[in-house]
Structure 1
């Protein structure tokens, strides 16, 4: 059982868990919204692969052009979430999951893999140090703490880069705090509409929440 990996599909997702937030009652709505989001994204080639256990041991990836991340990376696969937790660390699961993504990239003729990480350890983000140890290289860094890593298959391919909108850190809205979010993460629905609202009120900041439903 511990070496059995499953790939979620429209046909099996209703009876399978999606690793994050499955035991967090306050995020139950976000959990179901993430499942609904995945069902739509499967049509874009989105991959959610996990170990067949009741734990957080999984990887998500898709063509970078369909990744809901402000990065320009033509013909790359974008790793979105990639997490191995608890007792399952150090047993080769991360390497197996990563290799499955590399194999898919090769079979699809992709230039390589790309992912966004923290320049220091960030909650809910992949382990930067581990990825660098697997051959990823940093190609761009933002002053707000995010880094762009690439693992090339085609050594002559252009480097991916962050889009200008995140380099400037500005958006069309200029009043107070403006938050854009999707249901790609099951935790966002609750925390955007509760935790963030509370913090904005405490700090006396005007808050505007914008939910993105189209790429």
Structure 2
């Protein structure tokens, strides 16, 4: 299995593995590339199959992971994806997960954690797959779960602010960062939809680690609030956004 890790030296040339296939410069991909450039020195890992496909894992030390999760000495797994008929069923997912777990052990980490939910969310990594490796729920925030595989009996936790899941602003409010290549187009979609339908919209960029750690709800690149209540981490399309606004 020919995998490579992104580094400062190869980041500018490597395909970033998401579904976007444009041959031209893509604003979301380039934003992701810059976000990664600022993270790699913090121990952030992006490991991918040496191919223009969606086969990759992305994780970071929990201390510098842009999520409202607390814990000592853990790694946080942002994404693990293997999509496409050409790549499924070949053991790539297992190889990537085992690499992450072995990396955690070699670094002397206490374990690995990731975001899950009582019901699988379409924009979160496959939690059923993670549970085959021993991940279990160690904390909850509403319908969301913090899954962890502990090596030493300790456990991470959602920050108290993440469990709040409320804000004062009653408008449709979206918190986002630049980690996911799809963020740019979803921000544009939300802006255009809300302008066309006269819907008040607040877009809040989470552009520092401190802001991410202080989020008033669960966050994994994207978090939607409406009428003061946390709604989802899913990157909603126009149909789903319309249904949300009709609640």
TM-score by length of 1: 0.89
**Residue 142 to residue 59, structure 1, CA distance change in 2 (3 Å):** same
Query: Residues 28-43 of structure 1 correspond to what in structure 2 (within 5 A)?
Result: 28-43=26-41
| Structure 1 partner of 2:138 | 139
Q: How many residues align?
A: 208
Unaligned 5+ residue runs, structure 1? none
Report the CA distance between 1:28 and its aligned residue: 1.4
**Residue 92 to residue 64, structure 1, CA distance change in 2 (3 Å):** same
Is the contact made by 2:115 and 2:147 (CA closer than 8 Å) also made in structure 1?
yes
Query: Residues 3-152 of structure 1 correspond to what in structure 2 (within 5 A)?
Result: 3-24=1-22, 28-87=26-85, 88-143=87-142, 145-152=143-150
Structure 2 distance, partners of 1:139, 1:202, is 42
Structure 2 distance, partners of 1:40, 1:67, is 12
Q: Does 1:197 align with 2:191?
A: yes
| Structure 2 partner of 1:174 | 169
Structure 2 distance, partners of 1:202, 1:149, is 39
**Residue 205 to residue 168, structure 1, CA distance change in 2 (3 Å):** farther
Structure 2 distance, partners of 1:131, 1:56, is 18
Report the CA distance between 1:85 and its aligned residue: 0.8
Deviating above 6 A after TM superposition, structure 1's stretches of 4 or more consecutive aligned residues are none
Q: What secondary structure does 1:184 align onto?
A: coil
| Structure 1 partner of 2:225 | none
Structure 2 distance, partners of 1:118, 1:27, is 34
| Structure 1 partner of 2:181 | 186
Unaligned 5+ residue runs, structure 2? 210-247
Q: What secondary structure does 2:12 align onto?
A: helix
Report the CA distance between 1:166 and its aligned residue: 2.0
Is the contact made by 1:115 and 1:150 (CA closer than 8 Å) also made in structure 2?
yes
